[in-house]
Amino acid sequence: MLTNSFYETRAPFYDSVVGDGREIARATGQLIEERRPKAKTVLELGCGTGSVLKHLSEHYDVTGLDASASMLTMARDTLPEAPLFQQDMVDFDLGAQSFDAVICVFDSINHVLTFTGWRRLFSRAHTHLNEGGVIVFDINTEAKLEHLAAGPSFVHEFDDNLMIMGVSAGYRGTYLWNLKVFEHVE
């Protein structure tokens, strides 16, 4: 599992780099609608800054969970009324709370590096699902990760800042993401 410090330092730049979450929320909402048309409640694992939940909150009662305190601080600014919890997505426990849909988007599940971790995550998600509920997640496939690792680092300019990102093959099927953010300071 990725350490919290990774996102603690990147939280202020996260939405500027990855976008406002509208398209992912639209696609996720569409999947929920197709498979659970009467869904009313959504839990997002790895909710980050709340950008996806913000858009889903137009149609659902939303709850978020993230391991990063800095990301949750930003999510609280975005969604002041939504329940937000600081917990690890692999071992989370929200007591008796249950949801019509549990989602994990922005490839967040890629942070879970073991099959045992995946089993625990899906078990915890299942425990928090209402009967007939759905789990929606996305993932960076091995082919996509291999493609990224084979290519050069790339530069992304945002606001007055700069991010350089490179991906390399790691040990035993893992991939290492090297992100450097250069913040423009007066």
Over residues 16-53, the pLDDT tens digits come to 566 688 999 999 999 999 999 999 999 999 999 999 99
Say how many residues make up the chain.
186
Of 4-13, 87-96, 149-158, 171-180, the range with the highest mean pLDDT is 87-96
Average pLDDT, the chain: 90
The pTM for the full model equals 0.85
Residue 6 confidence (pLDDT): 61
Beta strand extents in the chain (DSSP E only): 41-45, 61-66, 84-86, 99-104, 129-137, 154-158, 161-169, 175-182
Strand partners, 43: 63, 102
Strand partners, 169: 175
Report the 10 Å Cβ neighbour count for 179.
16
* Token pair of 87 as six digits: 């917990």
Q: Are 172 and 183 in contact (CB under 8 A)?
A: no
